[in-house]
Amino acid sequence: MKRSLLYDNRTSLLDNQSLLKPKGKGSKKELAATLILTSLVDVFSILVIYLMVSTTAGVEMDVAEGITLPSASNSVVTTETGFLVMVSPRGIEIDKQIVPLDQVMEVLKQHQAALAEQNDPKAKRLVLQADKESDFDAINPVIMAGTQSGFENITFAVLQKEEKN
């Protein structure tokens, strides 16, 4: 049977590949296809960096109806939660109840003591959600009552400004 000239000159795709563990003439030879790992590493690096940048590690918080949070360019994203107090045009809202200004410190002391008794991490942090139109005179008594009732950290809930590139 005659073979065609074209068939005899054909080369295998595996001829140019590397040999792993050659042990002499009689040993079994294993062929391994060479992969271009550099491009794979580049793709995975870009993917990891993209996912790190696009995900937020902060705590998402529901904003109460009627409150428009102020935006801040120099804000710190935190993963810690805290006890939430809202200052809105309707008044001061603690634990989903409107509290008169003269009772704010008493109510905050009760909640702080209950949280501290349960070893809740919220016992040390007070998160203040205030409308961006709220006056200092409306927010300052809540801050003062929070510090006097035992909250060590008081943070403001804000919207983070988008960076323009």
Ordered per-residue pLDDT tens for the chain, 165 residues: 555 544 445 555 555 555 555 555 555 555 555 566 777 888 889 999 988 887 765 556 666 666 767 666 666 666 567 788 888 778 888 888 888 888 888 888 888 888 888 887 777 888 888 887 888 888 888 889 888 888 888 888 777 776 665
The amino acid at residue 103 is Q
Q: Which two tokens stand for residue 29?
A: 């030879």
What's the predicted TM-score (pTM) here?
0.55
- The upper half-sphere exposure of residue 68, i.e. CA atoms within 13 Å in the direction of its Cβ, equals 3
CA-to-CA distance for 113 and 127, rounded, in angstroms?
16
